Amino acid sequence: MKKFLVFFGVIVFMLLTVLLYLAVSYLFPYPYSKMNILFIVLLLVLVWRQSGYVVWMSFFLHFLIELYTLTPFGVVLFSSTISILGAYWLSENVLTNRSWLSTVFLGIMTMTTYRILYLVALLTARLFSSSVDIVWSGLATTFAWELLFTVLGFGVAYACCVPIFRRFPGRQHFPTEV
Amino acid sequence: MRRTKKLTTFLLILTVITITVLVHYFGWLDSVEVSLRTVLSPASRLIYTESIILKGEDESFATVAELESAYQTLKHEQSALRARALTADLLEEENQELKRQLHFFQAHGFTVMTAEVTGKNVDPFGSSIIVDVGSEQEVSVGDPVIIGEGILVGVISRVAPKTAIVRLLDDHQSKVAATLRNQDRSLGVVEGGYGLSVRMNLIPQHEQVGVGDIIMTSGLETNMPRGLLIGTVEAIEREAYQPFQTAIVRPSEQYTHITIVSVLTNGTTSTPL
């Protein structure tokens, strides 16, 4: 029963996260709308719980997002899930310190990996479909805005959440000073 | 040992992703995807409607000089428009009569399907909207999407039974064959750029292009009728060593405020998502 409730809770949490992501995309003006709420939430869950489940959460969340994107199916799913897997390994083996700076650095690394993999997946999809095209002008600007606001959002959210994480710790020990 | 475990995990996740993608393309996930869309659509529609109300028609200016410049431009335009208003009234009467006779869309075999916008793109690199008509209403990939009386805003890019995704003209993968209402009737391709800009490329270098020239569809591609309004020329980029020039396009409508659209369908078989 408890397992079922936890599972149900996770499903509701994921749906609410997707709605929050939609709300930010729809309601916020450019360039704030480029903030990637999904990655902020996933990274917060990762640094809090330090569990591999976050990779599967990323998989299901981005599966939902695939329904709202125009890129060939799988591009977002592949790049996001693999980048979160990379973030999990990075946080477990390299950036083990939970200071604000190292956590923000984790965010930068994850977003950069995500967009590099996104481009690789798009270029691969281009080999199979002539309808896929990449316009290079504007790409860097869009990525820069997304990186800036996502990392800023993550940094602020992490600083706010540390007292909660400390009170309800997962596998990770949180320092008294962020 | 640890490295092997990591490799196994990586391969496992990669396999799951590959299987999901394959299952999607075989169409075995259709029912799941339709159910998920049904769950998310009402909330998406609500948030989208609220965003339209909240954003309104506001325009912001970074500096006072920018505001003054915009005001002066508007004053000039207003004077010119007044002079043309009288002529326009007469032309409108004539136009109404001609339109009745022309049956523009019917003559091209197109049927107009009105649709409500229920959401928009969430990928920061794309620019699209979701509409509440799909293959059940005979909407198919490539159908032009217009607002008002023939203002092109995009093209149907993906179709599900009850919904469709419209790739807007400012999406980076959008390409529409277009023509200019200039002396040369220049041909080119209107392309978008990550929701930030719309450009008309491949205009031959020797042809005269002016700021304010009207851009419309050329009709040189399947499903797309000639004469749908795209926008006007805002600026021209011309390099002496290049064979082509580029026009920066000011779209006729702001794509962020679209609530109702019309899809020009021709009743062909649709390609599923």
Closest CA to B121 of A66, A41, A37, A63: A66
A40 CA to centre of own chain: 5
Give pLDDT, residue A105: 92
- Which range has the worst mean pLDDT, A108-117, A146-155, B82-91, B227-236? B82-91
Instruction: Identify the band that residue B272 occupies on the pLDDT scale cut at 50, 70 and 90.
Output: very low
Return the residue of B nearest to A20 by Cα: B47
Tens-binned pLDDT, residue by residue, of chain A (178 aa): 777 888 888 888 888 888 888 888 888 877 888 888 999 999 999 988 888 888 999 999 999 888 878 788 888 999 999 999 999 999 888 888 778 889 999 999 999 999 999 989 988 888 877 666 666 667 788 888 999 999 999 999 998 888 887 777 766 555 545 4
Residue B180 three-state SS: strand
Residues 113-132 of A with CB under 8 A from B: 118, 131-132
Beta bridge partners of B179: B187, B216
How many Å apart are CA B247 and CA B186, to the nearest integer?
11
B14 touches A at CB < 8 Å = yes
Three-class SS of B90-146: HHHHHHHHHHHHHCHHHHCCCEEEEEEEEEECCCCCCCEEEECCCHHHCCCCCCEEE
Interface pTM, i.e. ipTM: 0.83
The predicted-structure confidence for B4-33, as pLDDT tens digits, reads as follows 888 888 899 999 999 998 998 888 888 888
Length of chain A, please? 178
Domain B109-264 is in which class? mainly beta
- What does the longest C-alpha to C-alpha distance in chain A come to? 54
Considering only residues 147 to 176 of chain A, which have any Cβ-Cβ distance to chain B shorter than 8 Å?
Answer: none
Of the listed ranges B54-63, B67-76, B140-149, B183-192, the one predicted with least confidence? B54-63
Q: Which of A18, A26, A64 to mutate to test the interface with B (most CBs of B within 10 A)?
A: A26
By C-alpha distance, the chain A residue nearest B130 is: A68
Size of interface A-B (CB pairs under 8 A): 124
Q: What is the pLDDT of residue B254?
A: 77
Q: How far is Cα B231 from Cα B220, in angstroms, rounded to an integer?
A: 18
Distance (Å, rounded) from C-alpha A80 to C-alpha B122? 14
pLDDT at position B66: 82
Domain with CATH 2.40.10.350 in chain B: 109-264
Which pLDDT score, from 0 to 100, does residue A131 have? Answer: 66
Note whether A138 contacts B: Cβ–Cβ < 8 A.
Answer: yes
What pLDDT is stored for residue A43 in this prediction?
Answer: 92
Interface of A with B in 23-52 (CB under 8 A): 23, 25-27, 29-30, 33-34, 36, 52
Cross-strand partners of B124: none
Query: Is residue A121 within 8 Å of A82, Cβ to Cβ?
Result: no
- pTM beyond 0.80, yes or no: no
Does B7 touch chain A if contact means CB atoms closer than 8 Å? no
Contact between A121 and A78 under an 8 Å Cβ cutoff? The reply is yes
